[in-house]
Structures are given as C-alpha cells and as structure tokens.
Amino acid sequence: MSVETRVKRVTALQIAERKGGTPIVALTAYTAPLAALVDAHADLILVGDSLGMVIHGLPSTIGVTVEMMILHGQAVVRGSGRAMVVVDMPFGSYEESPEQAFRNAARVMGETGCGAVKLEGGSRMAPTIRFLTERGIPVMGHVGLTPQTTHTMGGFKTQGRDAESWPRHVQDAVDVAGAGAFAIVVEGVVEPLADRITETVAVPTIGIGASARCDGQILVLDDMLGLTGRVPRFVRRFADLGAQADRAIADYAAAVRERRFPGEDNVYR
C-alpha cells in the first residue's frame, strides 16, 4: 500500500533563514484558483487587505473586516499547498491592545489554517508583536508606507525623502524585528533607506516600492498581471491580462448577438 507524500509548506522559520540568501518570492492572492497558480512559483502568498480594493471595489483598505480576511484566507489555503500563507490583520482588529490583537489573530489562524499574520506599524506595534509571538503566533511586520494609516500620513506618499526621517524608519524596523517578527515588509520608501533597513535588521526584508537589494519582493498579483487600472511606479506589468480579457469578452458578446454561440460543439444532441 503506497503512502501519499505530502508536500510540506514553507514555514516562518524557513523564511527567516533566507536573510541574505536567495531572494524570497512573494505575491498576493485572494482566491483558490489564483493561489494555485502562485503556489507553484512563490515562497510566500500574502492574503492582503488590498483585497478590499482589488476584489470588493472599496476606496481603501479601511473597510476590510476580519470576516472578509478569513473568507479569502480560507480560499487561498485551500488553493495552495507549498507556499507559506500569511493573512493581513485588517484595520481596527489589533491596534486597541495586545489582547485584542491576540484574539483576532488566533481566530484568523484557527479558521484559515494560515501560517502567520501581518501587522502594520513600527515601534508602536512592537509590544503587540512581542505579545503575539510569545504566544505562538508568527508575525510578519510592515514598515515604511503603511496603507492603513495613510489618513494620518497625508496619503500614499513615498517615505524617507527627507534624510532626517531615516533614523525613525530604521528604528521602526529594528523594534519590529526585536519584538519577534520573522520578516518585515518594507513599502514605499526611497531606495537607499530600504538598503539601510535591510543592512540593519537581522530578519529578511520584503520590498514593495523599496529596493532590489531587499531580501525578497512582493507585488499585488492583479497589478503585475495587468488586471487593474493605474498602478504605482514600482509595479511592473509582467502581463496584460486585462486587455486580453476585454477582447475575449467582446468576442463572446458579438458571438452571442450574432448567434454564433453556442455552436454545434457546445450543445447536446
């Protein structure tokens, strides 16, 4: 009787050990079919709260709920089998207290089966990250441009353009790493600042709008596939599936109106 060999998922410890090694490949995914595609190539899949805008048409990530993250997290875990799955903690689910963060993070992990959660914020979130990691919840940090706080940051502005702010951003990353985060997303900062952060912290940095010298990179899948509209400068379109889909839908509509679809091969006799 043969025994099926189960593929082991990438773990937080394995990601942490990639510091200074082969770059970590990370992408977002929000559905099972796309998670399956990403799983074949990525080390880490982030179920980002960007799903609020990409999937649900919200104007920002602020309206995303824990229930939404769990629903999409479950789909991504079901659709993948090898890559580590990290689920974003949405706005309002962890800022109040470490205890609130633990209750919601434990629920997210328990109901999705994901391998870790991600929290935004630097030094101010270090006590919460420590509280979670000491209780068995792996945490990925997120510093630099933090989308959940853009209302207080004055919008989606590149961070670190003034050298005077560099020590604060570096300290944010140092404190997050020191609190136990196994990796840190560094978003929307000038390249030399991203390099400084990467050189300073002992855990991997995963850049988005940062530097090629970060320990890994992440993009929103829909952005890099050309399924969204205008994108930031740091996004490279690796495909233009949006235009291909538009042509396919137009061809379908014309075929229906002209009664060319369904054809002989598409009906039952």
Query: Any known ligand binding at 49?
Result: yes
Query: Any known ligand binding at 50?
Result: yes
- The total number of residues shown for the chain amounts to 269
Q: Nearest Cα to 80, choosing from 25, 15, 33?
A: 33
The count of other CB atoms within 10 Å of the CB of residue 37 is 16
> For residue 41, what are its two tokens?
């190539």
End-to-end CA distance of the chain: 43
- DSSP-based helix, strand, coil % in the chain, nearest 5: 40, 15, 45
| Identity at 167, one-letter amino acid code | P
> For residue 263, what are its two tokens?
């054809």
Q: What is the largest CA-CA distance in the chain?
A: 75
Active site residue 187: yes
In SS3 terms, 2-46 reads as CCCCCCCCCCHHHHHCCCCCCCEEEEECCCHHHHHHHHCCCCEEE
Q: Could you give the angle at the alpha carbon of 182 between the alpha carbons of 79 and 137, nearest 5°? A: 70
| Identity at 54, one-letter amino acid code | V
Give just the sign of the alpha carbon dihedral 19, 207, 226, 76: positive
Residue that has been written with the tokens 């992440």 in this structure:
218
Residue 218 β-bridge partners: 26
Query: Any known ligand binding at 2?
Result: no
Q: Nearest Cα to 115, choosing from 124, 105, 125, 100?
A: 105
| Catalytic, out of 187, 191, 258, 264 | 187
Q: Which residues fall in the annotated binding site?
A: 49-50, 88, 118, 120
Known binding-site residue numbers for 3-methyl-2-oxobutanoate: 49-50, 88, 118
Q: Which amino acids are annotated catalytic?
A: 187
Binding-site residue numbers for Mg(2+) are 49, 88, 120
